[in-house]
């Protein structure tokens, strides 16, 4: 075998997968995983581990894979991560662990993500569960939000012997893993559900349908329900719109709505009650991972789909792998293009979008070249559906109903990076609620740090 080249991973054919919601990437089998594991140099000072926000002992688990001890590999990963089957699938490894891999200097980096995924999937198929704490320490912690940050924080605290209750506003746990990331990237029933079951197996209780700030408040949890500390991992779920004319027309959706209908409510499945307007010709405005997810979802619902993005391909914030998949499936990229107005018919439905061509000008404060309009280049796209995927910001519901909790000008909760400590005693926060929309693994890292912070706080109290 060529040690410079990674073992390829099997995938569904683009033409086939564009018509179904089955997972695109099929993952390694054991033979492939063991072969790929032999490419790891087992560095003494592994740089890959520094690239991982939860510092998984990567050479440690890969060594076990190479030797065929998959259960042992799973226990190594479990010491660091509560959601390996998720992270192996959705982490941007190319800019994290794999970006630092020495193999990547000359040739392909080791496929760390795909190996992690293999180990986690194997553990699920062989019913290997993480181990719960043997005794409880008598202290109670409330975790708000059951997304990656909350699940990680809850799992870590439960392992330390805390009684942990997660409060979730929606009817299913998982946060963005359940409502945001589509089935074809992250299967719900097998992967997400079983990772949540693993967290429950650690003793964590999950109460759904509780909207903190409405059903009860952080202050009430501490004063009336006897929680010794609270972790806020409520994410950044508030969608942004452009503020252009026609945006309230029928057929204009936020990516959050479109994806929630399809992923959480399973609108693509006829046996579920929630409807979706799939569209025949769809434009998705934006260039992030959420835009790719929305576009590929619309494609699977039978539409011709355009990504409309104001910068060029090099600036697309989405993962390279996702852009590649989207292109293979037939998504059309209208780059350096910006919407000016949504055109509406007499019944209030979208009939098109007026756009303008852009060119890249001077670099702005963030270092990215700012797109500027090309005068006189306006044109119309004929459409029946527009999906706005312009990013999200934190919902102020919790911060505005909690006494003494500071937020910044972006409505993000202010918390220190090391331990997630907020301005309010006993209250910790992490993930998108603190940073604004970021990645699953960064949220997990923040949940982990906060669990450590909460443990230190309650131990010394």
Partner 1 sequence: MFTIRKKEVLANNIYLMDIEAPRVAKSCYPGQFIIVKMDEKGERIPLTVCDYDREAGTVTIVFQVVGASTERMAAYEVGDTFRDFSGPLGCKSELIDEDPEVLKKKKILFVAGGVGTAPVYPQVKWMHEQGYDVDCIIGARNKDLIILEDAMKKVAKNVYVATDDGSYGFKGNVNDKIKDLVNNEGKQYDQVIAIGPVIMMKFVCILTKELGIPTIVSMNPIMVDGTGMCGACRLTVGGEVKFACVDGPEFDGHLVDFDESMKRQQMYKTEEGRALLRQREGATHKNGGCGCGGDH
Binding site for partner 1 (CB under 8 A): 169-171, 208-211, 214-216, 237-239, 241, 243, 247-248, 250-251, 253-254, 256-257, 260-261, 265-266, 271-275, 277, 347-348, 392, 395, 397
**What minimum distance in Å lies between the beta carbon of 271 and partner 1?**
6
Q: Which is nearer to partner 1, 274 or 459 (CB)?
A: 274
CB of 364 to partner 1, least distance (A): 27
The minimum distance between CB 138 and partner 1, in angstroms, equals 25
Query: Residue 407 CB, nearest distance to partner 1 (Å)?
Result: 16
Pick 266 or 327: Cβ nearer partner 1: 266
Question: In the complex with partner 1, which residue's Cβ is closer, 175 or 453?
Answer: 175
Decide whether 138 or 243 has the Cβ nearer to partner 1: 243
Closer residue to partner 1, CB minimum distance, 241 or 410: 241
Least separation in angstroms between CB 179 and partner 1: 8
Q: Which pair of tokens denotes residue 312?
A: 């060029």
Between 81 and 435, name the residue whose CB sits nearer to partner 1.
Answer: 435
**Least distance in angstroms from the C-beta of 238 to partner 1:** 6
CB nearer to partner 1: pick between 25 and 265: 265
Q: How far is the CB of 146 from partner 1 (least distance, A)?
A: 14
């Amino acid at each position: 075998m060529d040690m410079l080249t990674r073992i390829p991973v099997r995938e569904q054919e683009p033409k086939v997968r564009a018509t179904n919601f089955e997972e695109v990437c099929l993952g390694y089998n054991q033979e492939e995983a063991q072969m790929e594991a032999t490419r790891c140099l087992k560095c003494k000072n592994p740089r890959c581990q520094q690239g991982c926000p939860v510092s998984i002992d990567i050479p440690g688990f890969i060594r076990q894979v190479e030797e065929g001890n998959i259960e042992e590999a799973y226990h190594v990963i479990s010491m660091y991560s509560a959601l390996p089957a998720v992270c192996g699938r959705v982490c941007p490894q190319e800019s994290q662990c794999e970006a630092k891999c020495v193999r990547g200097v000359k040739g392909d980096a080791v496929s760390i993500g795909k190996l992690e995924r293999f180990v986690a999937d194997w553990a699920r198929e062989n019913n290997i569960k993480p181990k719960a704490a043997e005794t409880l320490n008598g202290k109670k912690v409330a975790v708000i939000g059951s997304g990656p940050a909350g699940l990680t924080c809850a799992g870590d605290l439960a392992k330390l012997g805390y009684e942990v209750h997660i409060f979730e506003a929606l009817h299913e746990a998982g946060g963005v893993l359940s409502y945001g990331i589509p089935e074809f990237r992250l299967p719900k029933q097998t992967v997400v559900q079983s990772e949540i079951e693993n967290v429950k197996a650690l003793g964590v209780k999950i109460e759904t349908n509780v909207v903190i700030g409405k059903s009860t408040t952080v202050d009430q949890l501490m004063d009336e329900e006897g929680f010794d500390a609270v972790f806020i991992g409520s994410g950044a779920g508030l969608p942004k719109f452009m503020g252009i004319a026609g945006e309230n027309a029928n057929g204009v959706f936020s990516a959050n709505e479109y994806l929630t209908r399809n992923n959480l409510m399973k609108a693509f499945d006829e046996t579920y009650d929630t409807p979706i307007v799939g569209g025949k010709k769809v434009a998705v405005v934006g260039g992030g991972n959420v835009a790719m997810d929305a576009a590929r979802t619309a494609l699977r619902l039978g539409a011709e789909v355009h990504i409309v993005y104001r910068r060029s391909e090099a600036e697309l914030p989405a993962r390279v792998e996702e852009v590649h998949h989207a292109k293979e499936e037939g998504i059309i990229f209208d780059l350096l293009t910006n919407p000016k107005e949504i055109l509406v018919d007499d019944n209030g439905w979208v009939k098109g979008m007026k756009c303008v061509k852009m060119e890249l000008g001077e670099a702005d404060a963030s270092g990215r070249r700012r797109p500027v309009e090309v005068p006189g280049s306006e044109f119309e796209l004929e459409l029946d559906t527009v999906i706005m995927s312009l990013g999200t910001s934190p919902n102020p519901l919790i911060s505005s109903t909690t006494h003494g909790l500071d937020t910044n000008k972006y409505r993000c909760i202010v918390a220190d990076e090391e331990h997630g400590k907020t301005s309010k005693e006993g209250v910790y926060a992490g993930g998108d609620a603190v940073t604004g929309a970021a990645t699953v693994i960064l949220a997990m890292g923040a949940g982990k740090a906060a669990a450590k912070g909460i443990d230190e706080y309650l131990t010394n109290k």
